[in-house]
Structure 1
Amino acid sequence: MYVIRRVRGRLLVSVRISLNKISVLVIDDNLFMRSLLRAVLQGLGCGVVHLAEDGRIGMERLLKYRPDIVICDWVMAPVNGADFIKRLRKDKDQAVATTPVIMLTSFNKRAYVVQAARLGANEFLAKPVSPTQLYQRIERIVTETRPFVRVPGYFGPMPRGAEPDSKTLAKIAAVMATPLPRTSTLF
């Protein structure tokens, strides 16, 4: 689908990818947020949207339905988003372990973005969510696939723009070996 818009007197044409073959699992403990995200995803044309109330149920549904993308809230009980991603990235099935994750939270400070990346999240999205932001994150996952890397303390997508060479892998391992500063304590 083409989108034509006028910006500063100039016509810009962009191509929107079709999401009708994309399946998404939304994991959020808030019923309203799950319903809202499902409506937005369906409005964007996503083919299938599955829902889960927490990370434990989310993992069960992920193993059952094998979605293309997971959108996961951070703060949930009994299993939060961070624990969900840790469990996901440790799965023995590579197809499961490499499922792209968009971490969703109302906490948008840098410490949360850094922690989400260290956990292996592919994207980070702060609430409140706009349909445009959500589409952009999904589009980036679909069109800019990044290889996954495994180094001590980390399994997740290669940082954007990085080459999977020994120097980069050593840098990732060094970063993962460095604890977050005490001021970055999340909860």
Structure 2
Amino acid sequence: MSANVLIVDDAAFMRMMVKDILSKNGYNVVGEAENGAIAVDKYTELTPDLVIMDITMPEMDGLQAVREIRKRAPEARIIMCSAMGQQAMVIDAIQSGAKDFIVKPFQADRVLEAVAKALK
């Protein structure tokens, strides 16, 4: 059975890139969201096996969304991604409950490695 994934990024192009990598490797992309507020609603509605979420987004950023999702579903598996390789944000993301962190631009191997690890 392939895992269901929710992709969250304010850039449609980035969502498309991640979706492409996952789809080609047997994962099922069940939803997309362009900000953290929509992500929280979609998570509740779809209960995906994994969320891949950008940190920097309008309305509600990824860190706030991770905290909100984990409040509702402590077992949620979330991988954060951001163009900024800022140490503080990585630490914040992990402390907020993220399983891993991917830096943009995405490398397919790294995305797949993080997904496999998070789903174990």
Q: In the alignment, which residue of structure 2 is the partner of 1:119? A: 96
Does residue 38 of structure 2 align to residue 61 of structure 1? no
Provide the alpha-carbon RMSD of the alignment. 1.2
- Residue 63 of structure 2: aligned partner: 82
State the distance in 2 between where 1:89 and 1:56 align: 14
Contact 1:104 1:127 in 2 (8 A): yes
Structure 1: which amino acid aligns with 2:8? I
Residue aligning to 1:174: none
Structure 1 segment 1-187 matched on structure 2, within 5 A? 21-91=2-72, 96-143=73-120
Q: Which has the larger radius of gyration?
A: 1
Deviation at 1:109, TM superposition (A): 2.6
Q: Secondary structure at the match of 1:135?
A: helix
- Counting aligned pairs with the same residue, the percent is 28
2:6 is matched by which residue type in structure 1?
L
Report the structure, 1 or 2, having the larger helix content.
2
Q: Are the aligned partners of 2:43 and 2:69 in contact in 1 as well (CA < 8 Å)?
A: no
Could you tell me the TM-score, scaled by structure 1's length?
Answer: 0.61
**In the TM superposition, what is the alpha-carbon distance from 1:27 to its structure 2 partner?**
0.6
Aligned length: 120
Aligned partners of 2:50 and 2:119 also within 8 Å? no
Name the stretch that deviates more: 40-49 or 54-63.
Answer: 40-49
Structure of greater relative contact order (alpha carbons < 8 Å, 6+ residues apart):
2
Aligned AA (2:50) = I
Q: Deviations over 1:131-180 (max 9, x none)?
A: 1001100111122xxxxxxxxxxxxxxxxxxxxxxxxxxxxxxxxxxxxx
Residues 1:37 and 1:49: Cα distance change in structure 2 (over 3 Å)? farther
Q: Deviations over 1:38-93 (max 9, x none)?
A: 111101110233111111111111111110000000000101101101111211xx
**C-alpha separation in 1, matches of 2:61 and 2:29:** 23
Aligned structure 1 segments of 4 or more residues deviating by more than 2 angstroms: none
Report the Cα distance in structure 1 between the residues aligned to 2:66 and 2:29, rounded to whole angstroms.
Answer: 21
Assess if the C-alpha contact under 8 Å between 1:26 and 1:34 holds in 2: yes
